[in-house]
Each structure stands twice: as structure tokens, then as C-alpha cells.
Structure 1
Amino acid sequence: MKALYKPEPGPGLQLTERPDPTAGADEVIIRVLRTGICGTDLHILRWDDWAASAVTAPLVPGHEFFGEVVEIGAGVRDVAVGDLVSGEGHIVCGTCRNCRAGRRQMCIRTQGLGVQRDGAFAEYLSLPASNVWVHHESIAPEVGAIFDPLGNAVHTALAFPVVGEDVLVTGCGPIGLMAIAVARHVGARFIVGTDVSPERLEMALQMGADRVVDVAHADIGAAQHELGMREGFDVGFEMSGAPTALPQMIENMNHGGRIAMLGLASQPFAVDWGKVVTHMLTLKGIYGREMFETWNAMGAMLQTSAVLRDAIASIISDRFAARDWEQAFTTAAAGANGKIILDWTQL
């Protein structure tokens, strides 16, 4: 099969021939139709410090995908040949305390698809059947390919109740944009998005943000004043990882505010812990998706809301044949676009 392959530690990828994967008793083989490019994939391509510390090479990267099941192992139930599927990219041990308690997203031995195990940037992919998400409703292949990052957005947006609440979203990359759409769908009152990219701030308005702030040139407090907010934000989604984002968010939260943090910080930064204590703020780390409550929630929301379905689909800004992967990665790295999709039927 054709696959994007990193043969050894170091920068770069190769589109080359690799052996077809085989299915264990509890695994399935999926013919990959579409994949999304994630920030993790850019780290792996560049082979930065994070990739060198976290990634096992040789490796086929990629973890956002949509495909068709073409083979199932002898022990597989509830997944059939011909099913159209996406998949949970965190493969868990099943035996640690959290796994046994049904908190699989907190497994202490998690392996990442396309990080520590060959992933989806290939014509075929093997995956444990327990990680497969079958799409029982009709869905566009490109949207199916971004169920993984959509799950990150849904997990973050539903971490705290947002009905009638004022929400601040710092970081309007694709996942931040999807979180804005979800918060609007579930009933937030005012939503303010921040970024430094004019293109992404415009997309945030299209997703349902009431105001956007270019934090390189303006203050978040001005948006509150324009909206007639007399107190700070009730809920915050920190999606950027920028060193200034969390301190700015804390500065603009109401007493008792709750912050869900998905963005991974690129460097250490100072936090006003006195304000966290005296304002009784709650900070919650978000990693991946709840298994599988998040999947159920996002599937149900897309099934029942054409408005949300169209909003999520609109985040896909560029589509490339898999053979043009280098151009696709360059576009993704520019940071001014939505989601980038690779079509694996075009090699």
C-alpha cells in the first residue's frame, strides 16, 4: 500500500510503499478514504522537541480519518465489512484503574494512533474494533475525517454547563472554531473569540461568535463593554496554548468562573494564582475525547442539527489529493486556514 512514512527519527516524510496491515482477532482493517491534517502531524513532520520525545519512529502518522471497513478479525462484534467509520485515536490498556472504572480517556498507558502506532496516512489502517466509530447516519467523508478534532471541541465545550452563560474562547484555530459553533448550538448567551489571525477571527463570526478580538491590537474588556456585560465571563475555553492566553482569560472571568483548557502551552508562563483562589475559579484540563460519551454527543448533534452540521463542514477550507501531501502540509502550516483534508482515493 501507499503511505506517508517516517523511516527514522528526523524531519520529513516519504510517500512510499509499505506492507498492508493485518488484523488481529479483535481488530479491523479500514480502507482510508479521507484524512485530516492535525497540528500533531506538523510536529511529526518537523521533528521538533515534542516529536523527538513522544513519537516512536519508524512510523506512519495520521489519526484523523474516515474510511470503509474491508476486513474484521475473528473476535469482532458490532462492526461489519462495508461499514463507514471514523475512529478514536487513543488506544488504551483496559486494565489500569481508570480503564476498569470506565474512564478510558484517563488511561495511564494510552498509545496514540499515528504517534506510537502506525496511523491513517495510508491506504489501509488497522485499529482495535473497540476504537471504531460506525457512522449509522449519512455523513460527508470530509466531515467524518474530522470527528477526532470535533470531539476535542465538543469535550471542551461541554466540560461545564454553558446554557445562558457568557463564553470566552481564546484561540480560533479549527478546534476553537468548532467549539464556538457547539457553544452556540447548546445555548450560550454571548460568545467572544480571540486570535491574532484576521482570517480566523472572521471565521469565528461565521461560527456564531458575537464579538471577536485581535488580542495583538485590542483588549478583551472592550468586547464585554460592547455586549453590555456587567460582570466577567462565566465559562472559558482556552484553545491556543499561547503564553498570554490563560492569564488574559483569568483577568476577564467572573467570580466562580470555570475554564476548560485544551491548548498545550509552548512554554511555561506565570499565572495569577491569587486571583484563581480569591475569585474561586475552576480550571480543568481537557485531553482528547471522553470515551465514548463525547462521540455519542457529537454524533447526535450533527444528526439533529443541519445548522451545526453546515457550520462544522464549513471549517474544511482546503482539499488535496494524497499525492499532493507536501502542498497540503505547507497550507496547514501557514495557520490562516481551516481544516485541511487529504483524499486517499487520489494517489
Structure 2
Amino acid sequence: MDKALVIGLGFISTNLAKYLVDRGFEVYITYRSVHGSKALMMKDLLECNVKPRRLEPSNYDEVQKAINEVRPSYVFNTVGLLSGSWRDLWDAHVEVPRNLARAIISIDKSIKFIHISASAASGKLGSFISEEPRHCDYAYVKPKSDYERSKCDGERAIRELGAEGLNYVIVRPTLVYGYYNDHNEFLSLYRFVKRGLIPYIRGAVSAIYVGYLMRALERLAISNEVRNTFLYIAECQLYGLGNIAELMAEYIGVNGIRIPVPPGLVSPFLPGGRSLLRYINTQYSCDGLRRVLGSVEPAIGIGIREVVDWIKRAYGY
């Protein structure tokens, strides 16, 4: 039985750990603390025999010890922050993946490292964005915010360790939606809709259903042909932000008041917040997803229902 070590406890990692167990993997997941909705996530993981392990991933010695003791075939890094100081973002997006990569090299180069980055790592490159010809080459990419720069710097650190024998794949998902997602923006949107106030938000976002992302991550991990590369993972169509609110209202059974939201007030309802505001109406290439999974159906209806179901379960309303 192949072993997988999933770094970080949260929305994507919980989905990933459960999916891999269902696929026959022995799965370990790391955490720093368990509080709030993460306690429910951990409960679900324990019920399906995922093995938890406390870990501070910014501590290299702890990382090396964990990988040496688990001896996984695959390490999946899901650690990330949407905001914070430059030091916090650097630790999460550069130090953590670099620690993992260095530990893998020192222990067993046959371990495959799958690093989950973000579509914003390249910065804003127009209204349609595909993989750059030279990975995170600053002659081409244009990261501006601390969030974007730290994401790209983390990818560069992994790429450089590829020259030392690291077998890696870097995945850049767009907005991920589905069960276990209770990010503040979805919570804010849900609370407004629940009160009968349905924000009408102009603009659309590039997104990926968490179920599709899980399938893609497994296939990229087990493939012997895919290595030392990076790719975007996105569905082939944009989803209107106003439609997300409408889908929530329809599922909850609310027929409320539609309230136009001016562009300057969009960020509280935008998954990813103000830092990703400039990516509204930006389409990312879906070629990566097509190469891995083939054509997939739009899943926004299913995914938003899952978001609502999780918020109801985790917060009781």
C-alpha cells in the first residue's frame, strides 16, 4: 500500500486525505492546531483512518523526522496563507516547501513532491493566462503583491532543488470550491443570502471544483511521466460572482432582495479577498486539467451546495 503524507490541515488537505484513503492509500496528515471548524475536519479524518501527526512545517528538523519516520511515496504540500505580513507569507510559501523538498532529497529522492501553489503566483498577465515559457522567470511573470511574490519565490525554490534530484510537480489551482470550504468570503456571502439580501456582483472568476482537483492531484502524483513541471488547474469557463450568490439562495430556499454591489465593495464577497480583486474576469488555461482528466462538466451547482452544507454543519445555521 502506497503511503501519502499530506502537509497542513484545512479545506484542500481534508478533501485530499479522504480521497486518497478511498483510493487505497495509507494517509498521514499534519497539523499545527485543531480548533473551530478544523475540529470537525479532524473528526471526519479520524473516522476514515487518516493518521494525524502534529508538525511545525517551518522547522526543518521536525519535517525531516516526520518524512523519515513515515517514509511516504508521495508528499503533498497544502500549506498557504491568503494574507499576512511578508515574514508570515515567506515562511508559509517559501520556507515550508523548501524544508519539505530538502528533507525529501536528504532521505529518499524517489519520494514525489506535489506542491499546491496558486494561480496568482505569476501575477496578472492579461485577461487569459497560460503557463509561462520559463517557470517563474521574472522577465516574464509579474507578481506584485507580497502574496504573489512569495508564491512565485516558493515555486522557484522547488525548481532549483529539482537540479539536486527532487522529483516534483507544482500545481496552480484557481479558486477552489466545494465541501469543507468555509473561507471568510463564502461565510460573508452565505450570511447575507440567509438574511434575504442577495448581492448582485458583476464579474466572473476562474475556478476548479475540489473533486476535480483531487483527481488531478492523484494522477499527477502517480504518473511516472509527469515530473519537474508546473501547471494551472482550472475549469474551462468563468463563473459569475452574482451566479454564486443566486445558487446559494436557490439551494437555501431564499427569495430575497437583489442588491447591486459597487466594484469597490466587492472584496468582502470575493473568495480570496482584496488581494485577488484584480483577477476578476481573468481566464486561466484549462489545458492542464484537460491533459490530466480530459473534459469535465461544470460543477458549480454541486460545489456551491457542498459549501452551503458544510457551513450549515460547521456553524449551525
Question: What's the TM-score, normalizing by structure 2?
Answer: 0.36
For CA contacts below 8 A with separation 6 or more, give which structure has more relative contact order: 2
**Structure 1 or 2: more strand by fraction:** 1
**Structure 1 or 2: more helix by fraction:** 2
